Structure 1
Amino acid sequence: MRVFNILKATALAAALLAPNVALAADKVKVGVSGGDGEIIWQEVKKVAARDGIDVQVIVFNDYLLPNAALDAGDLDLNAFQHKPFLENQVKTKGYKITAIADTVVSPIGLYSKKVKALAELKDSAQVGIPNDPSNGGRGLLLLAQHGLIKLKEGVGILPRVIDVTDNPKKLKFREIDAAQLARSLDDLDAAVINTNYALQANLKPGRDSIAIETTKDNPYGNVIAAREKDKDNPLYRRVVKAYQDEAIRSFIKTRFDGALLPVW
C-alpha cells in the first residue's frame, strides 16, 4: 500500500508539473553571411520556433569559412552562397557538401543615366560590364537574356566578349572593375552593376534598372547546403520548410525592395 501511494503521489506531481515544463527544441546550427543573410534568418528562426526548432544563427564575415565549418561538422547547415560558388568550392576543396534547397538571388541589373529603357539605347552605345570572368559573364548573359546580344552555343555561365555572335546595335563593351562601374555611369551609356555596388550608389534594382535578371532558372540563386550524408535529414528538411514559408517570401519581397528575390 505504501509503495502504491508513493507511485500515485509521484504520478500526480508529474501531472501537475507537466504543463509548466517546455519540451526541448531541436537545435540546428546554420552559418550565414552578415547583413541581409542574417536579417532573413532571424525571421526564419521565428517560423522554425513554431515547429519546435531552435535555429542557432552563426554569422560569418568571410566567404570561405562557412563551407569549411560545415564540412568539418561545426555547422549543421549553411546559407550564404550561390550554386556556382558552391560547385567551385566542392571541386577545389573536396568538400562533401551539397545544396538541399533554393533561397534567394541578388539580381544583377543594367543601369543608365542617359536612357530610361532598353529600346532607347543607341547604336554603338558604350556598355560597361565587370572585368572579372564570373561577373562579366553574368553581365553578358543578362544582355543576351534581354535580346541585346546573342552568345555562342554551349558557352555556359562564363561567356566572354569574344563569345558574342550577334550584336545588332553594335554595342561597345568596356570591361571595368565591378566596384567602379557605378562611378563610371556618367561616362557610359549603360552598365551592368552587381546589386551590392548598385545599392552603395543609391541605385535600387526594382526602381532604377532598365534590365534585370529573372528569378526563373537563375544559375546564381543562393542555396541552403548540408553535408552529403545529411541531405535527406528530416530535421533539416523542416528548416528548409521554415525558410520557404510564405511569410518569409513576403518578408523578403517587402524588406529588400527587389535587391533580393525569392527563388523557390
Structure 2
Amino acid sequence: MALTGAGMSTASGIPDYRGPTGSQRKGSPMRYEEFLHDPEGRRRYWARSYVGWWQIATARPNAAHAAVADLQRSGAVGAVVTQNVDGLHQAAGSGRVLELHGTLARVVCLDCGAVVPRVQMDRRLRSANPGFAEAAESVADELRVNPDGDVDLPEDLVASFVVVPCPVCEVGTLKPDVVYFGEPVPKDRVERAYDLLELAPALLVLGSSLTVMSGYRFVRAAVRRGQPVAVVTDGATRADGDPVLKVAAPVQELLPQLVSDLASQPDDDSAEPAEALAASR
C-alpha cells in the first residue's frame, strides 16, 4: 500500500505546509471550528478559495504521480491512500485511490448533506461576485496559492465578497468536501485504510512528513504488525526514529528511477520493490 502526502504534488505547483525541515510554513490553514462558527472566517475562506481554486483544478500530474500509476500497473503497488485533496493520482491514471482527507472537487452542504461539483460552486460565486477575480489580480503582484487551494487577499477586498448558500436547500452552509485541520477523518474512511493496509505485504510512504497522526497512525500500525515500511521524502519525518527504511530524496526524482529499475529486472528473477528502492538510493 502506498501512503502519499503533499510532497507528491509540490512539483505540480501545489505547495505543502511544511518544507524539508518539517517546520510550519508562514500562513495558517483554515481550521474546522473557525469554519463552523465564524461567518467572517467562512467569507474569508471562500473569497480566497474562489481566486485560488483554479490553480489547483488546472494543476497537472508530475513524474511522481505517473510513477505511482506505473507501479500499480506493474503490481508492485496495490491501493493508494492519499492525504492530498488535488485528485492528481487519478489524473495520472492511478486506480484504487482512497482520498483520506477528501477532495477539493466537491462541495458539501453542512445542513442538508447535498454534494455538488466544485465547478458548479465556482459558477455561482462568479455570478454573485462580478469583477472580484479581476480586482484580486489587480491588487497582488503574484497570487500564490496555498496548500488548501486559497490565496492571501487584502481584508478590505474580502469584506466585499458574497458567499452563496446551498443550491438544494437554499439556506445551508457549503463547505469543501475536505478534512480541515482540527476535523476528524471520517471513521469509515480510516477503517477502510486499515483494511487495505492489513492486506498489503508492506507500506510505502511517499512525500509525507507524517507530522499529523492521520497518516502516521498507519506507519505505527504496520510497525506493530511487523510489516516492512519504506519512507521516501525530501526531509525529516515523524517516523525517523522508527524501524523503517528511510530514503531522503524528492519523490519526483526517485520514483521514476524505481520504475525503471523494476522494469529492467528479468521476469524470472524480479527484485522485490523494497530491494529496488534501496538500490535506487
Query: Which TM-score band applies after superposition, normalised by the shorter structure?
Result: under 0.3
* Structure with the largest fraction of strand: 1
Structure having the higher Rg: 1
TM-score by length of structure 2 reads: 0.26
